[in-house]
Structure 1
């Protein structure tokens, strides 16, 4: 009788988990739990930071330099639109050049800040594409393609960490657990290339729409590499402004490990995992905690928050246009 009760209890738990997953609650709870664990693990590092000194460092920055760094960050964010143009070409979407760029900016910047496993980006693309008459199967295929291709670029850069192209000893020697995240992301690209040609991908993810040919796959991986590389360069430019003699290769190494950790944590924008690894990596190189925190805050503002605000304005205008078009149809 006791064994039967235990089995029923287990079945009840499985049913609860299944229900929560269908309601997308698990996809939100897991990142929140991981974020809490990361914050708890990084308490000692956060206590070392004099936040008043960090704000003083940010206030002393030259406005011209800030403008240049922001411009570079916006260019890095804009490169993500390359995916959208590939989708436009492959699925023959009836979108103009400006609309394609605009939709990419709105969806990607919002997904970076409040993504939760891509739910926000997928919802926004569905809303925007449906407003242009794109069918649900095509939208589903577009979202599935984006969900699987965007990590390929950072996966390729992760091999740069593993082969010594980008120095990561400063991070890994004191925090070897980060190497597991790097390996997990590095193995994604070869796994994707194998998975993409399987019947499962064609039937369930591509929804029997035209299969991505080799040229589209290569172009998409290329866009992904450019996206992540430009983001890493933006990180380096911001860091080099505050940290003397900070090499580009070292910056890309720290950035790649931080991104890998953030992706594995599944939190929006990698928040928590990315930030902790960035602080640990810079501190391992001997830079002061306050300056490291200033680098992190500046990067978050320029690459995530400000582009997101621009995306909100674009989204508001798009929503107003959509309502106007609906009223005309009525």
Structure 2
């Protein structure tokens, strides 16, 4: 039986990964803070990864070790302690490690960010990658996902648009007039299944785990259609949205998936290596249907980590429509 240590495993992607690893027949142990219940026969070793003895309980040989962290200190210390015990090391990184988003279709050979303060997401992930290359370069897989979406998304980005169109019904919805914007997502279930299959097989180096790049307008159209939206979609120019302090991409008072102009490569990365190594992609329509049902279960008008509240949106709509008359 393949022995797999997951550093993490109790969060959104992590729990999906543990499920997927168990379906391969692996013996799975997770080292993580807290006492979350794990699926099946997976076992949890509760540890604070800041502690001096964080990894003492797992100092044994493993067929594979998967580290999900974005904490630079945790990632580097884990490699220092455990690199010699792993037949295969798989680190979950991000496409945010790339230094430039200027060129559509860039592959894994594109330059990475070089340096940056601790606490900067891209710089921390790049530093973890560099430490992994140094210590386990011939036994290493680095997976760089794009935006991860799907049911249960704790960031509230992927479900915002179908949820908002469903909440609005026949009322208006504010959207960015970003005709050239692109969206490139990966469903959490597809990503977890790929990581699980790859962890118990041969290392594959670095690759982008991303779906097909599609126009933001297509995502909005399909989200509105499946939500049964019959109202007016009000597409406001980027300049006006910025003036109104609407944020890009994620977080409070944002329009999720909207990006600044001049980033043609951000949501348009090559996915050839992911596909060549067995990576799969469920359809945009299937993803939108699933996240709509998830949004319905969680409540369309709940407090969100990303997006506009309906009250913020109505105020912005009133201001924009008044200025346009």
Normalising by structure 1, we get a TM-score of: 0.28
Structure with higher strand content? 2
Structure with higher helix content? 1
